[in-house]
Structure 1
């Protein structure tokens, strides 16, 4: 049985404490911004399927991000590989600042096949806990804390993320996989990476923490 982290989201711009809302409206990509290299349009990369499923081609490289910023929230994300599994990630606290190739200043929740649950500080982001990757290696990684909890290809995986002040906690399919403190930046936009492999999303829901 999958145990879901309960909580809620304070959206910096709109939501009230205790409220919950899907990040995708189920019709189009209003409220989202696509950044890719080379540049393309969101309709060439993402599409809305029946029952609110969002399908991505996974390319060209880049990310889709909310236009709003968020702090103190839980984020529920369900994803699956609809073909050969590959690389991907959920970006938290996307902020203005340096870029690492096509990746923005942010904290990446890794959904790469076989590595789901790793955390990566991107383009100058930071947290207090030590990395598990070799000194000087890129990308910088804090590996997941438990055995691999990703489901078989084609099944829906669940990521539950709690971001409160400067602490981020992460569970994959009900298994606590990571926790970091002193996270910088501690707020920002939310996004999804494009790293070459097609994938699908559903039930992407923010809930406001009181």
Structure 2
């Protein structure tokens, strides 16, 4: 019986290490207000009456697109899986989710130091390096000539995603999953693996969504802790 108890304990321990309790998944917005977030919109510096481009509407987090800026979590996150459900309800346009965000306004006086996962219509899943860097397979093919790579203004900071046609038709909800574990980042759009990077120069930071010209609705921003043992293959 003692040996059986030991076996059971080992199995239980292994199982516990390789599963994530559902209770650890949490929403990053409460559907009512912007608790847990702060706004960084340069236009508000000179004119406090500037319209806030980030609102809660009908339980959805909405980026109105203008004026340009970012909605940034107060908390810093590391080793997680972020599930984002979003759509362009009107005209197609541009938006993105930034991970490992840190120094504000590090690029073009607006973008925080981070790694952007692109949400732009028909480009979802591209990486944009914003004063942080990442490597991918076939990077020269997807980023351009190596001598032009960089992480600041004027450099080739965009790394194209791996697929075409992963997005839903305009107006329908897309599901983007961003998994950040260690120095790796994986991105799925509607269950298609659309990008994978490694040797990221940051492994933790804040999460941000953009106001970058187009109205975007978010109905889910849920985060779940992920360990090296449970990351997706």
Q: Which residue of 2 is the match for residue 112 of structure 1?
A: 120
Greater RCO, 1 or 2 (C-alpha within 8 Å, sep 6+) = 1
Q: Which residue of 2 is the match for residue 85 of structure 1?
A: 92
Q: Which residue of 2 is the match for residue 57 of structure 1?
A: 64
Q: Is the 8 A contact 2:98 2:117 kept in 1?
A: yes
Q: Which residue of 1 is the match for residue 209 of structure 2?
A: 192
**Structure 1 unpaired stretches of 5+:** 1-6, 9-15
Instruction: Report the Cα offset of residue 126 of structure 1.
Output: 0.8
In the aligned structure 2, how far is the partner of 1:41 from the partner of 1:26? 24
Q: Which residue of 2 is the match for residue 72 of structure 1?
A: 79
- Pick the aligned partner of 1:27 from 24, 32, 41: 32
Matched, 1:165 2:187: no
State how many pairs are aligned: 195
Q: Which residue of 1 is the match for residue 231 of structure 2?
A: none
Q: Which residue of 2 is the match for residue 13 of structure 1?
A: none
In the aligned structure 1, how far is the partner of 2:50 from the partner of 2:34? 8
Instruction: Report the Cα offset of residue 47 of structure 1.
Output: 2.2
Aligned-partner SS, 2:124: coil
Q: 1:72 to 1:97 in 2, by over 3 A?
A: same
**Structure 2 unpaired stretches of 5+:** 1-18, 149-153, 228-233
Q: Which residue of 1 is the match for residue 13 of structure 2?
A: none
Instruction: Report the Cα offset of residue 139 of structure 1.
Output: 5.1
CA-to-aligned-CA distance 1:59-109 (integer Å, 9 cap, x gap): 111111001000000000011001111111000000127711111110100
Bigger Rg over Cα = 2
Report the more deviating stretch, 60-69 or 132-141: 132-141
If the length of structure 1 is used for normalisation, what is the TM-score? 0.85
Q: 1:170 to 1:30 in 2, by over 3 A?
A: same
Instruction: Report the Cα offset of residue 194 of structure 1.
Output: 1.0
Q: Which residue of 1 is the match for residue 102 of structure 2?
A: 95
If the length of structure 2 is used for normalisation, what is the TM-score? 0.77
Higher helix share: 2
In the aligned structure 2, how far is the partner of 1:34 from the partner of 1:41? 14
- Pick the aligned partner of 2:224 from 204, 207, 210: 207
